[in-house]
Amino acid sequence: MAIMAELKDDSYPTRPSLLRRLKDTQDQQSWQEFHDLYARMIFRFAIKAGLTEDEAEEVVQDTMIGAAKNLPTFQYDPKVCSFKTWLLNLSNWRVQDQLRKRQAPLAQHPHVARDDSTSDASRTATVERVPDPAGPEVEAVWEREWKATLMDAALAKVKARCELKQWQVFDLYVLKEWSVADVAKALGISAARVYLTKHRVSLLLKKELKRLERNR
């Protein structure tokens, strides 16, 4: 079995090199990379804060606009403020803007009963929402979304460097949690090869995740 290619140091788009490129507001490719990586994470974060999908989409749009205005002057210094914290603050401010907009009509008409029947179904359950805009719960939710985004990015990079069958083994055995026997039968390989492939891909994935963690 061919050994998969080593992942390059510049394989993760949020490295300082990208932040430097984002100082050029005309660099459309870099901004597209930034959007592709973070838009979904910000959307999930907003949904867990209790927003509707439409409100969450506005949060994504407003956060990206804010990033476009501020990243050209952002100084990457993890000792002062990590990029992760910077993006959390930017996103959370937009979430709070949406919550204030939702409350504004009620403040203007306090005696009018609110009809939640059309929106409850599209909102995140209360128990899963971000409870305190300034508390540790917000950071905990963001940290979970951040780690999920890192995992997605790492998996995408590793997948791109795997042979098709190697990735199929890893996908079925690790991600989809098939048994070794079922994977071996489905792909026409030995159980030993399933274990070996899983080990090799897992090592690459751990290496990539460590690289991403260093650059957050």
pLDDT at position 97, please? 92
pLDDT at position 32, please? 87
Burial of 50 (0-12, 13-18, 19+ CB in 10 A): buried
Residue 184 lies in a domain: yes
Q: Is the pTM of this model over 0.75?
A: no
Residues 132 and 40 in one domain: yes
pLDDT at position 3, please? 35
Residues 97 and 165 in one domain: no
pLDDT at position 10, please? 37
pLDDT at position 199, please? 96
The boundaries of the domain holding residue 104 are: 11-111+120-148
Distance from C-alpha of 174 to C-alpha of 159, rounded to nearest angstrom = 13
Residues 64 and 94 in one domain: yes
pLDDT at position 155, please? 93
Residue 77 lies in a domain: yes
Q: Which residues of the chain have pLDDT under 70?
A: 1-16, 76, 78-81, 104-136, 213-216
Q: How many independent structural domains does the chain possess? A: 2
pLDDT at position 24, please? 79
Residue 154 lies in a domain: no
State the CATH number of the domain containing residue 175: 1.10.10
Residue 5 lies in a domain: no
Residues 125 and 189 in one domain: no
pLDDT at position 33, please? 82
pLDDT at position 196, please? 97
Give CA separation, 178 vs 94, 130, 171, in Å. 41, 34, 9
